Every structure is written in structure tokens, then in C-alpha cells.
Structure 1
């Protein structure tokens, strides 16, 4: 199919998908700041209450794989609108829950939409814009993730602290509904892919370059969340940051994610491999310095956390873009596997981090995370990822030609 020129409506559709990503991630992580209120309301232990977050991540991982087989043939516009409506319903039921089990089931129902959304959104962004702008579109969509950390999660938690956790879920339900309406208006008509079966996963995993990308993703994301789950403890015990200044550092981390996304958007289409390597190196060095405890204070901590946040944001965008380019006509199932790895690594990283922290202490936690990140960096030189102008199989143009047909309505 001939490459089309990106229009203003295309970019507005990309922006709407970024808002969708913002809502999806905010929905996933916002309960972290509501756990004590939920636990008190339903007389649950903190560990059991934590299931509203950890179980959500694992169900989202499974849903990403199932979505490829179950809904890949559907038209993209009604599919994405439907997923946001499911998320709206999930948040509304969570807000109205009369028992903890009802809340948990509402969350798990929303996790199904979460996994399916992330499976579709990566390749959908590539279908909306011209080949040379795929990386930029991906960066904008993933910018919703960083914005959720900087704005969404703190804002919902602030609302919940003042109005109660039910108000927080109600706000998320309303925002999900508004986003569904925006997608219904802005997304063009995009056909689904050919019906897929389980053999597509075997075909994807047979590609050496994709296996390398998945290995990098798994190690980098586990390393990140093993350390970041306990970032408040790292800042206070290793960098001697006061409790009142930790919020500044966390804000810097989220802001760095937005900067990293936009920087990645400007460079990823020309230098995908080198950008991924530099991002992993930045994250690794920051973890090493933090773990060593050789420097401290709010200023130093803010700089280190900013570089860490920018690095991990660029890792996310770089890997998603590389998966689309390398996978070619298998971009959809390849993205689904990446999303499953991503969500699974979140829970795994938290568990691994907790185990190291309890067994060996905070210093080794950071050192271990840095070591795992450096191991993932060692795989990067063996990658073969073309730039946007490359003509080898696996570029974004082959995604568009081989996987789906873009049909536009006036």
C-alpha cells in the first residue's frame, strides 16, 4: 500500500490515543495511593488489598496475548472505543463496590481492557502516520504513560485523599468515557488484521531479533521496577533525602519521562539502536551511583532520578518502535508478546526487589538492578533495527502493507 501523508486529523487521533494511554496507566497505578483507605473500608490486610494492583498487572499480561486471537480481526475504531467503555464501566463498578470481592472483580474486568488496549495501540499508532514518523507517534502515545505518573496518579490520589477513594474511581470512569467519545470522533476507519491463531506466537518467537528485543525488555523492566518500587527508601537511605523533598524527586522522575518521550520522538526514527543503548546506559549508571551511596542530598538525588526517569522512558519507546519495525507483518502478535512481558515484568520486578530487600538489603537491591540493566545493554550491539528510511523487511511500511489496510472516510 502506498504511504500516505500524515494529516492534522491523524495527529489528533494519535493525541487521543495518548490520552487513552494516560487514562489506562492512571487506572492501573492510582489504587497504590488508595490502598489504606480501601483496606480500612473493607477490613482487609494490606497484602490482600494489594491484589487490586498486582493481580491487575498479571491479568493485563494474559489479556494482551488473548486479545491477539480474540479481537484482532475487529475494526480498530469500534474496538478502541469499546475498550475505553469497558474501562469506564470497570471504574464505575469499582467506585460503587459494596464488598472487596466486588471491587477486585471490577478491577480484573478492567485489566482485560488494559491488556487489549496496549496490544492494539502500538501498531495502531504506526498505521495513522507516515513511515518516517512512526517513532514520533509512538513517543507521543507513550508520553501518556509519563503524564500519568506526573499528573494522573498524583491528581487522582489527591482527589481520593480529600473525597475518598470512591470519588477517585468515579473521576477515572468519567475520564474514560470522555476518551471513548474522543476516539469515536477522531480515529479513522482502520480494518482489522486477518484472523490469527496460536501459531503466530511461535512464528514471532522464531525470529532471533525479536527474541533479543524481548530479552532486553524483560531484563530492563524487571530491573527498573525492582528498584523503583522502593524508590522512596532508596532516596531516604542511600541519598539522604528528607521526607519533605522526596516528592520533588518523584516529580522530577515523572517530568523526565515526558522529556525522554519527546527527545526519543525526535531521534528514534533516525537512530533507534543507539538511542536504546544510551537510555539503558543512563539508567544503569544512575542505579549504580544511587546504590553506592557515595553522593547525597536533594540536588544530587534530583539529577540522578531525572536521568533515570528519562532513560527508562526512552527504553519503553525504543523497544516498542523496534518491535514494530523488526516484526513486519507480525507486528500485532509481536506487540502483544511485548505488552505481556511488560506487564509481567512489573509484578516480577516488584517481587524480586522485595526478595532482595528482605534478604540482602537496599544497597544490593540497587546494585543488582543496575547489573541486570547492564546485561540487557550487552545485548543491544547484536540488534539489527533499521531507521525509518531503511528498506529491509520489518520496517513500519511493511507493517502497514502486510498487516492491515487503512481505509479513510472523508
Structure 2
């Protein structure tokens, strides 16, 4: 597998112009943006979803848990299962599944239908994310592979910090169902873009599930995956319930919360690019900063976020730190297994989405059992644990 990936490093798709290659990479970024936005869309809409479907906010949070669990399983399973098929065909099919899931969620008359819809979203999201991550090397010349891969992953980072506020705003302008319709239509548009811009991408390597799982035995990979699990679980335990927390702590209304989440999103985009530059020089140092700042900010939100201004400042710092989690942890893992990019990316996607599911589940149990503000202390504690693992775990290779 390592030899195959070395060959891919020096061979972009033959006969393609640079402009067309970059257009295909942009379409992949659009795909990753759409799948991650679809996954996290319920975060800013929990209150109206729960009211319409007659469930508690903790139960409504399971819409995120289900999608994350399915995505966590589908990423490492679909990648080897579909390894024989043309990647353009696979991606278009998965985007179709994603669109159907979002449109079904928009129609859902009760929670059981919503759950089925979110299962479909999880299948599409996990497969697209894992497969798209390794395709830039086949679309652009070797000298451009690094920036092209960063652009593909920028879709994930931007969706992580902007998808929620965008959905929240649309939900306020119309209703929560309109937000799901919009993302379902966006998935269809991206499907068409992928079909038009991607070349034929026949399978180039044999990828077995056993080989993917054996990567976990490498101490730097194991450490990186543990940091992903802790940071993402802690973040989503808290962030899934950020709307009810802000309503309870700062007294902010729905419109104000949308603005606060936009502040968070803009700060997160800045954090993504700042952390990308830092992680290239020192993955460990970058993740240490992220873990420390995230732990302090999340834990202090219930204590210091009593006014809208203070809540906005805390959310800005929160976004700045969490915006670097995807690029920071991905850089760590790629440096830990440079000869197994596709395999380690599948593990990354699986753990990342499993952590989203676990965070939403733990946050829901905490919110329903202890109180909604307690989710912030849970999130802060897990981020602090990530700091410790980063400090003392196995370091990636240079």
C-alpha cells in the first residue's frame, strides 16, 4: 500500500489542465463542506426540532449521536468495501444518499423518521469524508498536492465552524425544516459538480480492513486518535447544547444566539488557518495550545458568560481554538503514518465521528440528568485530558 501511495504522489490525472484539476479539488471541498454541515445541522436547531417532534432537548441531541455513530462505522468499512469502484461514481452515489437523508429529515413527521433520515446522512457523510481525503494527489501535479489536500480539508473545517450558525439563521428566517431542505438541495448541486468536474478515478490500490486497523498499533497514531477522541467528544458534549446553555446563562434570544454562533464561526475559520500553519511546524505544540485554551474557555462559559458581550467573547475564543482541531490532529496523524494516508484518514474519520456521537450522547445524558450548564464542565474536563495525552503520548515522526 505504501508503494502505491508513493506512485500516486508523483502522478496526477494525465491530460488534465491545472485549472481543471483545481476545479475538481474545489468540488471535493464542496463535498466535504456539505457532508459535515449535514452532520452538524441539528446543533443550532435542537430547541425547535424537539418542540416539533415532541421530544426533550436531550433526546433531540440523539439526531447528532446517530449520525456520528453511523459515520464512524461507515468510514473504515466503506473505504475498503468500495475500493474496487471508480471514485467519481462512488462519491456521486454517496452524495445522492446524503441528499435523500436531508430531505427525509425535513419531511419527518415524528422522531423515528428523523432517526432513519439521520442514518442515511451518516452513511453518506462517513463515506464521502474518508474517500475525498485522499483524492487530491490524483487531480493536481505533485508540487500542488499539499495545498490541494488542505483545500479539500478546508471544507470540513469551514463547515465545522460555519455550518451551525448558517443553519440556525435559516431556521430563524423560515423554520428548521427549511434548513434541512437547503442542505439537501446543496448536496444535489455538489453531486452535479462532482460528476462534471472529476475525471474517471478507477481504483489504484487494494485496501483491507485488517491493514487499516493495524495502524492503531503505532504509538504516535494511537496517541493522535486518542487526542481526536477527547477533544471532539468534549467539544460536542458542550457545543451540541450551546443554544440552551446560552439561553439559560446569558438570557440571549434566538436571534442573538444566531449572531453569537456566527462570531464563533468566523473565529473558527481564523483558527483553522492559524493552526494549519502552526501544526506544520509543531503538531504537538499546536495541539497543546488548543487543548489548554479549549478546556479553560468551555469550563468558564457558565461562570463568566452571564452577559451577551461576555458570552460572545468566550465563544470567539472557543471558536478560535476548536477551529484548529481538524487540521491539527490530521497533521499529527499524517506525520505519524506518511506511507498510509488513506488508511489513517479512514481511522481519523471513524474516530472523529464516533467522538461526535459520544459527545452528543454524554452531553444529552448530562443535560437531562444534572442540568444543561453541567455539559460545559464535562467538555472542559475532556479537553484538559486531551492536553495531558498530547503532552505525554507518543510523538509523530518529523
TM class by shorter-chain length? 0.7 to 0.9
Aligned match of 1:394: none
TM-score using structure 1 length? 0.79
The count of corresponding residues between Structure 1 and Structure 2 is 385
- Ranges in structure 2 where 5+ consecutive residues have no aligned partner: 1-6
Aligned match of 2:123: 112
Aligned match of 1:374: 384
Contact 1:132–1:269 (8 Å) recurs in 2: no
1:200 aligned to 197, 207, 211, which one?
Answer: 211
2:269 pairs with 1:258: yes
2:317 pairs with 1:307: yes
1:88 aligned to 73, 78, 99, which one?
Answer: 99
Render the CA deviation track for 1:371-390: whole Å, top value 9, x for unaligned. 3212212232444335xxx5
Q: Could you tell me how far apart the structure 2 residues matched to 1:337 and 1:128 are?
A: 23
Contact 2:50–2:60 (8 Å) recurs in 1: yes
Q: CA deviation at 1:309?
A: 1.0
Mark the CA change 1:93 to 1:4 in structure 2 (over 3 Å): closer, same or farther.
same
Q: CA deviation at 1:130?
A: 6.5
2:346 aligned to 315, 331, 336, which one?
Answer: 336
Contact 1:34–1:160 (8 Å) recurs in 2: yes
Aligned match of 1:143: 154
Aligned match of 1:349: 359
1:272 aligned to 283, 290, 296, which one?
Answer: 283
Contact 2:157–2:326 (8 Å) recurs in 1: no
Q: Could you tell me how far apart the structure 2 residues matched to 1:296 and 1:37 are?
A: 23
Larger mean Cα displacement after TM superposition, 149-158 or 170-179: 149-158
2:311 pairs with 1:325: no
Contact 1:65–1:337 (8 Å) recurs in 2: yes
State the SS of the aligned residue for 2:23: helix
Larger mean Cα displacement after TM superposition, 49-58 or 145-154: 145-154
Aligned match of 2:4: none
Q: Could you tell me how far apart the structure 2 residues matched to 1:96 and 1:370 are?
A: 36
Q: Could you tell me how far apart the structure 2 residues matched to 1:161 and 1:168 are?
A: 9
2:82 pairs with 1:71: yes
Contact 2:169–2:258 (8 Å) recurs in 1: no
Q: Could you tell me how far apart the structure 1 residues matched to 2:261 and 2:156 are?
A: 15
Contact 2:234–2:383 (8 Å) recurs in 1: yes
Q: Could you tell me how far apart the structure 2 residues matched to 1:48 and 1:126 are?
A: 42
Q: CA deviation at 1:182?
A: 1.5
State the SS of the aligned residue for 1:115: helix
Contact 2:44–2:168 (8 Å) recurs in 1: yes
Q: CA deviation at 1:214?
A: 0.8
Aligned match of 2:3: none
Q: Could you tell me how far apart the structure 2 residues matched to 1:331 and 1:27 are?
A: 25
Matched ranges for 1:196-235 at <5 A: 196-235=207-246
Mark the CA change 1:225 to 1:49 in structure 2 (over 3 Å): closer, same or farther.
closer
Aligned match of 1:393: none
Q: CA deviation at 1:158?
A: 4.8
Matched ranges for 1:92-103 at <5 A: 92-95=103-106, 101-103=112-114
TM-score using structure 2 length? 0.81
- Ranges in structure 1 where 5+ consecutive residues have no aligned partner: 391-410
Render the CA deviation track for 1:252-283: whole Å, top value 9, x for unaligned. 11111211222234443333332222222221
RMSD: 3.4
